[in-house]
Structure 1
Amino acid sequence: MTDVTVKQLSEVVGTPVERLLEQLGEAGVDVSSADQKVTEEQKLKLLEHLRKSHGKGAGGEGKKITLRRKSTQELRVTGSQGRSKTVSVEVRRRRTYVKRDEAEGAAPEPQPAAPVASKAAQIAKQVEEERQAAVAASRRAEEERKAAEAERKAEAERKAEEAARQEAEEAERRKVEEAARAEQEKAAPEPIPAPPPEAESAKPGRRRRPAAKEREAGPPGRREELHVASDKRGRRKGKGKTTRVAAAAVASKHGFERPTAPVVREVALPESITVGELAQKLAIKAPELIKALMGMGVMVTINQPIDRDTATLVVEELGHVAVPMQQADLDEELAVAAAEPTGELKPRPPVVTIMGHVDHGKTSLLDYIRSTRVAAGEAGGITQHIGAYHVKTDRGGITFLDTPGHAAFTAMRARGAKVTDIVILVVSADDGVMPQTVEAVQHAKAAGVPLVVAVNKIDKPEADPERVKNELSQHEVIPEEWGGDTQFVHVSALKGTGVENLLEAVNLQAELMELKAPAEGAAQGVVIESRLDKGRGPVATILVQRGMLNKGDVILTGQEFGRVRAMFDESGKPVKSAGPSMPVEILGLSGTPNAGDDVLVLEDERKAREVALFRQGKFRESKLASQQAAKLENIFSQMQEGEVGTVNILLKADVQGSAEALRDAMEKLSTDEVKVKIVAAGVGGITESDINLAKASDAIVIGFNVRADAGARKAVAEQDVDLRYYSVIYEAIDDVKQALSGLLSPEMREEIIGLAEVKDVFKSSQFGAVAGCLVVDGMIKRGNPIRVLRDNVVIYEGELESLRRFKDDVNEVRAGTDCGIAVKNYNDVKPGDQIEVYQRVEVARTL
């Protein structure tokens, strides 16, 4: 054995380097570092030292007692597949005790330190043995874990090899089947002769096997195929030989193969989708989708709609990608779904809107044209919403739209100007041009619509048509006789004077415009007005602009959709179809659409519902965002300006246009100090839920041409809610204005009630400086505040301490009278100063 270093020797014997150096020193070997070499003699010297220290001398061995101890422990080892395995670890310990003879140790006198050293060596040896036993146990546990891991890997490799072998056998079998099929196609096998019928009949209880030709032919209309299990082989007998035929030669091949990877689909999700439609997009069966939803805790049916969030969760759970449907994608799909009206362009009736100032005779003029009495039945004699009528004249039909002239209906007049071809501007000959007249001119010019001016009430003595022309010419409406392009017709709505000339002017203007539209295909139009009828549900007045609207069509308008269940003309008669420029009332929508919304006819009701729900979701999101922004804005404004008085209003109207006009008019009444907050605005009668909402929000309920039902009236009486009915719009606006005026803080004004001029100043032991004054204006009162003026500049503000007339205290001194005035806490009064007495007065403010 060659020389080794101390470090290498420590690794061989399993003893730490420091301990080995210590033992070498005790043995008398001069070694100080781990890199020094140890010779064979030094190793023997160390071994002899260790034997002596452990009780083994040269003269023989003493009596020894060996004790062994064994303990078992369990360790849990986690495998590669996540499964845990329990491994038993056995730890064995051994201790040896030596007893020496008494005579052996009696010869030399033992040193006192020897037993101590021997005992220390024994303890050290026991500790070392225990450490080595623990290390060995851990090594055995590690070896067992590695063995288990190797066994698992071997099992996995064996399974992989088995799968590869099976795959190879499958491939080989397929090759054999293909070869057999090709051989069968080249030359059909010789048919097996069928046994005679006598032989079959001689064997009772057995069924006759069909012949080969019969098996090949089969029953009429049946496909020639024979299904054989893959683990069996077909055999046939012939000429004493048994021929093996591959199973695939007589078995049909599957029409599809299993995909090698799962198919991941991108599913476009609208705001709401039914379970059946989502299953179609995922290309799975509806019961599987319902099962997945039930696993998520959602109990649904096949026709039940679910929201986008739930659909997104279940789509991702099934391993697909959910894509929220965007507005651009929806518009593109809508453009594809909404087919353009086709067919030849044919002349259509003109759409004429009658506009003008309130009470200038618009409805009376239309009343005469229609030969009905419309204006007499209107509240307050004014039009509250847009009315659409179709009138037949000698020169063709004309569709009239009657718009309100009140200031609050600006949006309705603008909407009427957008959907019209010609505007008849009605101006009263006695009133002339009024604010809404100018507004109507602006709307018509903004929409690019030609004007025909009807100068009404020419039968009145104070009528002045030339004044109307002069005033309209200031707004760039020039009559034809003045070189302009606007027709002026003098009419009288009550007597019918000039009405025929007005209709002729309208027809002439329509002929110049050459109005045409396709009368076939899917209809397109616009919502003129909508309301909620208690017996019929949502009712919408629609003006068809292109195509043909038929009963039963699926329509989409704004956030609402539905199927046309019934159509009525302006007189309430049912109709089955409506062409261009025809106004009709339709039933069957899901809700009341907003006036001015476009109307499209779609072929797919599912697509209409999808788009409508998407728009509702967008509107809800924008409304919530605006409410949140308004809340933050209110917080900051209240922090900066103090608390703002607010009047909460819940508004219900008969038609959508009236609700819109009332909302706009009332919100315009808001100022920096008081504000109008519309809690809710809707169409239809007042219900109990409306009263509960008003109670919760401390709002005033305003019903415009609607009434509360029995449940709502009972709730009003129980909850003490302020409910008010109106039929004229300006009355409702005036009442709200008065309510806002009551919330305004009163204005404090100062009124000067007297002025005294200081003539001289006297000294008083009680009051100090006393001013002798002459009242030159008004009166001087004791309890009012005063100001001291010098050269018309205020030098002091305070109050009177004493007011005397001669030697008597008085409460007031009038003009032209002398008096003595003592100013409280001020003694610098000089002759020539003026003392002004004033009072503060609260003045109620109005909007």
Structure 2
Amino acid sequence: MSDVTVRQLAKDVGIAEERLLTQLKEAGVNKNSADDPISVSEKAQLLGYLRESHGKKDGESASGGPRKITLKRKTVSELQQPAAGGRGPGGRGAVRGAGKTVSVEVRRKRTYVKRGSASENEKTLQDAEEARKALEEQARKREQIAAEDQARREAEEAMRLAELEKVREEENKRLAEEARLREEEEKQRRAEQEARQQQEQGLKKPESEESPTAVKSTPKEEAPAVVETEAAPAVAAVAEERPAKRASQKKETRASAGRGRKASDDGDSRKKLHVSADKRGRRKGKAGRGKTGASQGDSQHGFVKPTAPVVREVVVPDTITAAELASQMSIKAAAVIKELMKMGMMVTINQPLDHDTATLVVEELGHVPVTKQDDSIEAQVMSSLDEVQGELVHRAPVVTIMGHVDHGKTSLLDYIRSTRVAAGEAGGITQHIGAYHVETDHGMVSFLDTPGHAAFSAMRARGAQVTDIVVLVVAADDGVKPQTIEAIQHSKAAGVPLIIAVNKMDKPEANPDRVKQELSQHEVIPEDWGGDTQFIEVSAKTGAGIDALLDAILLQAEVLELTAVKEGPARGIVVESSLDKGRGPVATILVQSGNLKKGDMLVCGQEFGRVRALLDENRQPIDSAGPSIPVEVLGLSGVPNAGDEVIAVADERKARELASVRQETNRDNRLAAQKAAKLDEFFSKMTEGDVGVINLIIKADVQGSVEALRESLLKLSTDEVKVKVVASAVGGINETDINLAATSDAFVIGFNVRADAAARRAAEDRGLDIRYYSIIYEVIDDVKKALSGLLSPEVREEIIGLAEVRDVFRSSKLGAIAGCMVVEGMVKRNNPIRVLRDNVVIYEGVLESLRRLKDDVMEVKAGTECGIGVKNYNDVKPGDQIEVFERTEIARQL
């Protein structure tokens, strides 16, 4: 602060000058008059004196106490604790038995006090040391708790594993015992069968002896009786032993069932049910009494009953239909749709779901979602390309020319190329993105020329993303414009260095300092101002400064040290694409690495094909193109989207499969977006009511123009009127477009394309109008006018007269007739009126009759008496006012 006089200080402080002089003298500052200056040190001396006179010391606050600063900090950490009695990994307990999370919140509070004495400072340090020790003790306890929890979890896990091993051993013993019992039972069954056969043979012998024709048995034939006699005690022993074995088998079955239930409680998710041994014995006994030779084999029941829901791992890709999701979870699709309806989504069985929605449904239904690993054909192709390595060599820089419309971008490039491209553009403005490479004395440079019109924002963004250096052209006589600022934003977002070309320096009104000043407001600082951006003054008309611009470009390229793999599979990006009637789909590709040759198999986004021809920017055929070279490619299956990545693959089958997968993915995403759009549109119609809509079908010559037209026209939509693009594509207008336009009640817009003969005949038959354009802002203006026609007109009311009711007369034909005096303006017949009583509207209607004396008149001017009949209203009273007004409709515009 500079020195002031005593008078100024007294005025600022608000005290008398004499009092201030007195205080200065008491403080030891000698000032004789009010005009003497006071320095900063003298002010400080006066302030110290005044503080001491009021009983305050240095370092004390206004309240007399020490100044304090309190800092509060809070930290939150988490401890994972397992739930007690966790269940095994096989059942639901594996999910619910997971440990719970305990949040530990530590709050710290420190107070710093500014004190004067050393004892107080020592006390503060002691408090801080105690706080530090408390925090360390708290951290140690937290670590101890965590260690104890870890040890407890490990002990519980070891106990659980030991218990599971014990249960497994008991189960093995039980199965071995059952196998032994089955073997013994099989031996008993065979012994019974042999005894029964011997008994039957013994019974046949007496029958043969009683027969008169029986032959006496030999001593050998008496053997069966002896065997039967010896086998009888064995049968009796077996019969006595069977009930005991059945009882033991029942007891063993109950024990095994108990062990099975225990194993299930410990985490087993399934329990085997076995048929008891006594029931098997009864079944076999019945079979034994039946037909001889029937199958007597032992059969074990194979049914397994689950005791807990089965948790499955469901692979969830980026998009999946409701039916496929239900199939992976082994449930009906209705269950998935029901769950989605609970979430507020109305879907069909074949509707694709996005990854997040499908994951949420799987979790709600109790299963585990697993993200699909990227093992598709695309990953295989990309990995094979990454494996191919080559020698890095120096490559030419790719330079994008950007700037506002009509600032001379194309003219500057024309001078460098010595061509006349700008003269061939419609309306004198660039509406396509062009790619050229130029051999200069300083080396080769590839240029991308972008449009400057506001509608081509996507083209400028695409140019900034594929380039190495951006040359921003600014007219010296026009300065910074909206598209100039947008170009700066695109280049900064892409991380590309800028070179400013100040064009039109040949004009007398050129002012380069103004350009520097305006660009500095957007953080573009020239080098001579201490910045890092090169400013080159050029003239596209005279050629001045062109060599300096090329030197600046190549200098920046040397700083960037641009390299690429020259040999190997080519990779690049689609700069522009179009559909030529004679040549088919044509794509302008900027090769970024590798070597693109004629006959290579390419994949461009969703399209693929073998390169039938390579053409340079002059439409001359070439055999190959290396890094940083733009070429036109013929032979693709369709028109790719501008900005798509281009890769060369060795196998046609892989190329076809990769393009097919991308088309399917794009189709699913498009269907999902359409479903969401239709639902949103349905709700918006419910809330907004009727909205005027213009349907459009856009056909253009190149993909970039289609994007620009679609985005620019959709931005014209408002809450009352909307633009809906039914279809947009590259190529001429055909009969299919006309049929679609007739079905959807749409307008057909042809941008630099024409309709064929069949389409023209179909349009004439259906009465459709096809609009042809070559300049983009003409399309935007016409659509804006059409939207303005859909806007509801603005209705304005204008009061044209006011009459005061003096008396009311009754008529048998017309009812109540108000005798009035016109006090303002003019009263016209058949105009809308309002009846006012105490300046409050009590009725609004139409003036039915207007009379002057006995004659019907059309209008009555101010200062004249008249009789007024109000239609369908007879409650007019003296003192009321009748207001006559007119409604005027005014057309609205966007």
On whether the aligned pair clears a TM of 0.5, the verdict is: yes
Choose 782-791 or 622-631, whichever is displaced more: 782-791
**Change beyond 3 A, Cα 1:151–1:652:** farther
Q: Report the alpha carbon displacement of residue 810 of structure 1 after superposing the two structures with TM.
A: 2.6
Q: Distance in 2 between matches of 1:425 and 1:577?
A: 31
Structure 2 counterpart of 1:786, one-letter code: I
Are residue 776 (structure 1) and residue 821 (structure 2) matched?
no
Q: Deviations over 1:245-295 (max 9, x none)?
A: xxxxxxxxxxxxxxxxxxxxxxx9999xxxxxxxxxxxxxxxxxxxxxxxx
CA gap of 1:640–1:438, structure 2 versus 1, over 3 A, is same
Change (3 A) 1:661 1:683: same
Partner in structure 2 of residue 659 of structure 1: 706
Amino acid at match of 2:809: S
1:785 aligns to 2:832 (yes or no): yes
405, 426, 430: which is aligned to 2:477? 430
- Cα distance change, pair 750–394 in 1 and its aligned pair in 2 (3 A): same
**CA–CA separation in structure 1 for the residues paired with 2:585 and 2:808:** 89
Q: 1:815 to 1:435 in 2, by over 3 A?
A: farther
Greater shift, 406-415 or 504-513, is seen at 504-513
3-state SS of 2:376 partner: helix
The match for 1:471 is 518
**Shift in CA distance, 818/453, structure 1 to aligned 2, threshold 3 Å:** farther
C-alpha contact 1:521 1:547 (8 A) present in aligned 2: yes
Q: How do 1:640-679 residues align onto structure 2 when only pairs under 5 Å count?
A: 640-679=687-726
What residue in structure 2 maps to residue 447 of structure 1? 494
Task: Return the letter of the residue paired with 1:390.
Answer: H
* Alignment counterpart, residue 545 of structure 1, candidates 573, 592, 610: 592
Cα 1:570–1:828 shift into 2, 3 Å: same
The answer to whether the aligner puts 1:403 opposite 2:450 as a matched pair is yes
Q: Are 1:762 and 2:807 matched, yes or no?
A: yes
Q: Aligned equivalents of 2:853 and 2:626: distance in 1?
A: 99
Per mean C-alpha deviation after superposition, the further-off stretch among 441-450 and 807-816 is 807-816
Alpha-carbon distance in structure 2 between the residues aligned to 1:815 and 1:495: 74
Asked if residue 458 in structure 1 is aligned to residue 505 in structure 2, the reply is yes
Cα gap change, 1:448/1:785 in structure 2, threshold over 3 Å: closer, same or farther? same
Structure 1 residues 635 and 146, CA gap change in structure 2 (3 angstroms): farther
Native 8 Å contact 1:342 1:547 kept in 2: no
What's 1:520 paired with? Answer: 567
Give the secondary structure class of the aligned counterpart of 2:886. Answer: strand
Q: 1:609 aligns with which of 645, 650, 656?
A: 656
Q: How far does the alpha carbon of each residue in 1:64-110 deviate from its partner, in whole angstroms, 9 at most, with x for none?
A: xxxxxxxxxxxxxxxxxxxxxxxxxxxxxxxxxxxxxxxxxxxxxxx
1:270/1:614 contact within 8 Å kept: no
- Residues 761 and 769, structure 1, Cα contact 8 Å, conserved in 2: no
Aligned partner of 2:773 in structure 1 is 726
Measured after TM superposition, the shift of residue 470 of structure 1 is 2.4
**CA distance in 2 between partners of 1:826 and 1:446 (Å):** 74
Higher-Rg structure is: 1
**Is the partner of 1:339 in helix, strand or coil?**
helix
Q: 1:396: how far off?
A: 1.0
Secondary structure in 2 aligned to 1:355?
A: strand
Alignment of 1:205-224 (within 5 A): none
Residue 736 of structure 2 is aligned to residue 689 of structure 1: yes
Aligned-residue offset at 1:802:
4.6
1:502-552 superposed Cα distances (whole Å, 9 cap, x missing partner):
222222222222222222222221110111122222111111112222222
Partner SS state of residue 338, structure 1: helix
1: CA distance, partners of 2:558 / 2:878 = 91
CA shift, 1:479, in A, is: 2.2
Answer whether contact 1:788 1:835 (CA < 8 A) is retained.
yes
Partner of 1:633: 680
- Compare the two structures and name the one with the higher helix fraction: 2
Distance 1:795 1:324, change over 3 A: closer
Name whichever of 531-540 and 385-394 sits farther off.
531-540
The answer for unaligned runs of 5 or more in structure 1 is: 1-142, 158-267, 272-308, 310-322
Amino acid corresponding to residue 782 of structure 1 in structure 2: R
Q: Is 1:344 the counterpart of 2:391 in the alignment? A: yes
SS of the counterpart of 2:761?
helix
Deviations 1:357-393 (A, max 9, x none): 1122111111111000101111111111110000111
| Contact 1:769–1:827 under 8 Å retained in 2 | no
Q: CA deviation at 1:553?
A: 2.1
Q: Displacement, 1:681?
A: 1.2
Match of 1:234 in 2: none
Deviation at 1:718, TM superposition (A): 3.2
CA drift of 1:806 comes to: 5.0
Match of 1:110 in 2: none
Matched, 1:393 2:435: no
| Letter matched to residue 684 of structure 1 | G
1:570–1:147 CA distance, 2 compared to 1 (3 A): farther
CA distance in 2, matches of 1:456, 1:749: 51
CA 1:815/1:671 → structure 2, altered by over 3 Å: closer, same or farther? Answer: same
Work out the number of aligned pairs and report it. Answer: 542
Residues in 2 aligned to 1:513 and 1:622: alpha-carbon distance in whole angstroms: 39
CA distance in 2, matches of 1:723, 1:156: 86
Q: Call closer, same or farther: CA 1:650–1:769 in 2, change over 3 Å.
A: closer
Aligned to 2:104: none
Is residue 702–residue 726 contact of structure 1 (8 Å, CA) maintained in 2?
yes
CA deviation digits over 1:460-513, x for unaligned, max 9?
Answer: 333333332222222222222222222222222222222222222222222222
1:533 corresponds, among 568, 580, 595, to 580
Q: Deviation string for 1:613-647 (max 9, x for gaps)?
A: 01101111121222222223333333333333322
Spell out the pairing of 1:91-170 with structure 2 (5 A cutoff): 153=295
Distance 1:340 1:744 in 2: 60
Letter in 1 for 2:739: N
Deviations 1:718-772 (A, max 9, x none): 333322221111112222222223333333222222344x3x6224233657354
C-alpha displacement of 1:413: 0.7
User: Does 2:756 align with 1:709?
Assistant: yes
**Equivalent residue, structure 2, for 1:380:** 427
Q: How much has 1:834 moved relative to structure 2?
A: 5.0
How far is 1:445 from its partner? 1.3
CA drift at 1:558: 1.0
| Contact kept? 1:340, 1:522, Cα under 8 Å | no
Cα-to-partner distance string for 1:405-461 (whole Å, 9 max, x where unaligned): 111111111111111111111122232222212211111111111221222222233
Q: 1:155 to 1:709 in 2, by over 3 A?
A: farther
Alpha-carbon offset, residue 655 of structure 1: 0.9
Partner Cα separation in structure 1 for residue 432 and residue 287 of structure 2: 92
Aligned to 2:5: none
Q: CA deviation digits over 1:813-836, x for unaligned, max 9?
A: 2345454555553646564x6543
Q: How far has the Cα of 1:792 moved from its partner? A: 5.5
Asked if residue 588 in structure 1 is aligned to residue 635 in structure 2, the reply is: yes
**Equivalent-residue separation in structure 2 for 1:601 and 1:816 (angstroms):** 92
SS in 1 for 2:627: coil
State the secondary structure of the residue aligned to 1:776: strand
Aligned equivalents of 2:849 and 2:773: distance in 1? 59
Letter of the structure 2 residue corresponding to residue 770 of structure 1: A
Q: Which residue of 2 aligns with 1:365?
A: 412
Answering whether residue 643 of structure 2 is matched by residue 619 of structure 1, we say: no
State the identity as a percent: 65
Alpha-carbon offset, residue 560 of structure 1: 1.2
**Cα distance in 2, alignment partners of residues 667 and 345 from structure 1:** 45
